[in-house]
Amino acid sequence: MSAESPTGKPSARTKRADAVRNQQTLLSAAAKVFVTSGVDAPIRQIAAEAGVGMGTIYRHFPTRADLVTAVYRHQIEACAEAGPSLLAGADSPFEALRQWIDLFVDFLVTKHGLADALQSDSSRFAALHTYFLDRLEPVCAQLLDAAVDAGDIQAGTQPVELMRGIGNLCIGRDSDPRYDPRRLIELLLQGLRQPRPA
């Protein structure tokens, strides 16, 4: 079926799909810039990364808080959607959990500075935090349950405590280049492993 209307112009559906794709490109570019330069990075740097003009960004996201919020939600969705895919494709549920935690750490790094960026609108930040838990806690629970069922890890770890523990291990990463939270997170994961019979 043609994507054009009878007049030969792109249909409204095609325009909507293009707009969604363009917005996803902008959000991915902004997330990449936020990782390297923080959430206060110049909008022109994000525009250059996305290959668009600054006007395009302001048209989609009138304020920096709008952009930061949208990036945060975009990253949450990517992390949430990755869980089931990793579980279906990894060699074991434990390996899927490890890979998902790696993505979760990347997400936490991208999130760095969000609270400061949204400080002037605490209700927006509270809503985002709720959204974060609502979307990611069930995914983490699914991965933990699968790993327990497979005998990979010991039962009893709550998703929220694992996520909070990983978040706490990521604190201080930016202030000390000698600190690598992934090493400690690997130790944490090894501590979850189910002891194998001799």
Structure confidence at residue 15 (pLDDT): 60
Q: For residue 10, which phi and psi values (nearest 5 degrees)?
A: -55, 140
- Mean pLDDT, the chain, as a whole number? 85
Place of tokens 């930061």: 68
Q: Domain for residue 117, yes or no?
A: yes
Q: Domain for residue 109, yes or no?
A: yes
Q: Domain for residue 2, yes or no?
A: no
35 and 46 belong to one structural domain: yes
81 and 106 belong to one structural domain: yes
108 and 26 belong to one structural domain: no
Give per-residue pLDDT as tens, 93-114.
999 999 999 999 888 876 766 6
| Six-digit token string for 87 | 């579980």
Contacts of 12 (CB under 8 A, 6+ apart): 5
Q: Domain for residue 103, yes or no?
A: yes
pLDDT tier, 1 (very low <50, low <70, confident <90, very high otherwise): very low
Closest CA to 77 of 31, 124, 12: 31
Closest CA to 166 of 197, 143, 148: 143
CB 160 within 8 A of CB 120: no
Closest CA to 30 of 48, 52, 46, 45: 46
CA-CA distance, 198 to 13, in Å (whole number)?
Answer: 61
Report how many domains make up the chain. Answer: 2
Q: Output the domain CATH number for residue 178.
A: 1.10.357.10
89 and 38 belong to one structural domain: no
CA-CA distance, 112 to 106, in Å (whole number)?
Answer: 10
- Full domain range(s) for residue 38: 11-62
What mean pLDDT comes out for the span 41-67? 92
- Note the pTM of the prediction, 2 decimals: 0.79
Q: Domain for residue 5, yes or no?
A: no
Place of tokens 């997170």: 185
- The length of the chain is 198
What mean pLDDT comes out for the span 156-175? 88
Three-state secondary-structure class, residue 193: strand
167 and 95 belong to one structural domain: yes
CB 114 within 8 A of CB 71: no
CA-CA distance, 25 to 64, in Å (whole number)?
Answer: 17
| Six-digit token string for 194 | 């189910």
Structure confidence at residue 81 (pLDDT): 96
121 and 193 belong to one structural domain: yes
Q: Which residue has the higher pLDDT, 138 or 116?
A: 138
Q: Domain for residue 112, yes or no?
A: yes
